[in-house]
Amino acid sequence: MRSRQRMFAAVMRLLLKCLRLGRRRRFKLVRQVEQLWHYGHLCLCSLLYNSFTNGDVVLDSLFEPVYWLVDHVTRWFGVVFVALVIGLTSSIVAIVYICLLPLILQTYTPAWICWHLTYGHWNLIMIVFHYYMAITTSPGHPPQAKNDLTGVSICRKCIAPKPARTHHCSICNRCVLKMDHHCPWLNNCVGHYNHRYFFSFCLFMTLGCIYCSISGWEMFRDAYAAIERMKLLEKERLQVAANQTYYQTPPPTFSFRQRAFHKSVVYLWVLCSSVALALGALTLWHAALITRGETSIERHINRKERQRLQKKGKVFRNPYSYGSWDNWKVFLGVDVPRHWLTRVLLPSPHLPHGTGLSWDLPPCVTEQRAPLLAI
């Protein structure tokens, strides 16, 4: 009897130990889940470490691998893009000289011939000059000596002071003075020293494409109609050839030279029209930025700052804007009236105002700049 009681007591003690062990394991699992929850909550809160952070910071963090891939692809394909620009531009120039220029000299009046020769060659010179200067001119970088530089912030990648309007280019892996963007078609950054060359190239390339599209419209219509006639006659020739012997097959209606001429005219007009639309939109966008005295990067920064100050009842004023007209004079380097001819309408390698390290009032500005903040 006593042995049975002892066995029963032992079994009950074992059962109670199992229940306590299972309860402890459940409590341990609950504690681990709570720790993971608090850790995840802490990681999420770390992304919102100050009041300036919003959803854009979270998206930038999530898309950081995509940015890394785009930066490396752009870095390696920059040479390909430059070769593509040179190749397409050279093909258009070759078509104009080989196909269109003899036709112009034979059919146009002397006045129109002088106009086309003068404007066409002037536009071509401006395009080649500004593109060459844009890809070969350094945009400007802060000096390596940190003691000689007064920075308004510290670059977290270069670990060096950054002057005003300076930003780090992840593709070039360097800080760029008054950086606008990294242009793959130039294989170079657009910054303080080559911003004017980049915009002038876009402007004159757009004007040249519009000029070719308008001047070649009638030729394009005739060439397109001729190609359609070629296709129709080719079908008829094949149908006739199917019912005749080999020796009775008629010769081709159009020669290789005629086919190449018409297709070249169509290629020229389609390419110039497409580039005029795409590059024209980009040129207008940069013209609006220049009018406001901003770069592409500063537009986003100023927009956020404007929204932040608006909530506080204040108005944001761009400290680098001197008014629409003066902004263009500063950007183009126009100090006296004759500079509109020698520095804008003619190729000019003059340097921009300032060094990009400090932004003093340029001599061509007639009015003082507005204060940064106004209540």
Three-state secondary structure call for residue 155:
strand
Q: For 170, list phi and psi in degrees, rounded to 5.
A: -70, -20
Q: What is the pLDDT of residue 88?
A: 95
In a domain, 4, yes or no: no
Please check whether residue 262 is in contact with residue 223, taking contact to mean a CB–CB distance below 8 angstroms.
yes
Produce one character per residue of 96-106: b if its CB has 16 or more CB atoms within 10 Å, e if not.
beebbeeebee
SS3 of residue 371 by DSSP: coil
Give the model's pLDDT for residue 39.
78
pLDDT for the residue 298 = 92
What's residue 371's pLDDT? 45
| Domain interval for residue 118 | 63-364
Between CA 189 and CA 182 the distance in angstroms is 4
Task: Kindly list the distances between the CA atom of residue 223 and the CA atoms of 96, 228, 269, in Å, as whole numbers in the listed order.
Answer: 14, 9, 10
Residue-wise pLDDT for 36-77, tens only, equals 887 777 777 766 555 555 666 666 667 667 666 666 666 777
Look up residue 167 and give its amino acid. Answer: H
Task: Calculate the CA 137 to chain-centre distance.
Answer: 18
d(CA 312, CA 200): 40
Phi, psi of 248, deg, nearest 5: -100, 5
In a domain, 79, yes or no: yes
Q: For the chain, what percentages of helix, strand and coil (3-state, to nearest 5) are there? A: 65, 5, 30
DSSP string, 37-59: HHHHHHHHHHTT-STT--HHHHH
Residue 139: what pLDDT? 94
Percent of the chain exceeding pLDDT 70 equals 75
pTM: 0.77
Out of 99, 169, 175, 183, the active site residue is 183
At how many degrees (to 10) do helices 324-332 and 256-292 cross? 120
pLDDT in tens, 170-220: 888 889 999 999 998 999 999 999 999 999 999 999 999 999 999 999 999
Q: How much is the pLDDT for 126? A: 97
Torsion sign, CA atoms 309, 311, 315, 320: positive
Q: Which helix (H) or strand (E) holds 189?
A: strand 188-190
Q: What does 283-337 look like in DSSP terms, one character per residue? A: HHHHHHHHHHT--HHHHHHHHHHHHHHHHTT-EE--TT---HHHHHHHHHT--ST
Structural domain contains residue 283: yes
The one-digit pLDDT tens for each residue of the chain (375 residues) are 556 666 666 666 666 666 555 555 556 677 777 788 877 777 777 665 555 556 666 666 676 676 666 666 667 778 899 999 999 999 999 999 998 898 888 889 999 999 999 999 999 999 999 999 999 999 999 887 655 566 567 888 887 888 889 999 888 888 999 999 999 899 999 999 999 999 999 999 999 999 999 999 999 999 898 888 888 877 776 666 556 554 555 555 677 788 889 999 999 999 999 999 999 999 999 999 999 999 999 998 888 888 888 888 888 888 889 989 999 999 999 999 999 999 999 999 999 988 888 888 888 786 655 444 433
Residue 369 lies inside a defined structural domain of this protein: no
Count of structural domains within the chain: 1
Give the model's pLDDT for residue 12.
Answer: 65
pLDDT of residue 90: 96
Q: Is 44 among the domain residues?
A: no
Does residue 325 lie within any of the structural domains?
Answer: yes
* Residue position matching structure tokens 């004023």: 317
> Is 145 contained in some domain?
yes
370 burial via Cβ count (<10 Å: 0-12, 13-18, 19+)? middle
| Residue 183 designated active-site | yes
Among residues 267, 232, 239, which one has the least CA distance to residue 253? Answer: 232
- Residue 197 within a domain: yes
Contact 137, 193 (CB under 8 A): yes
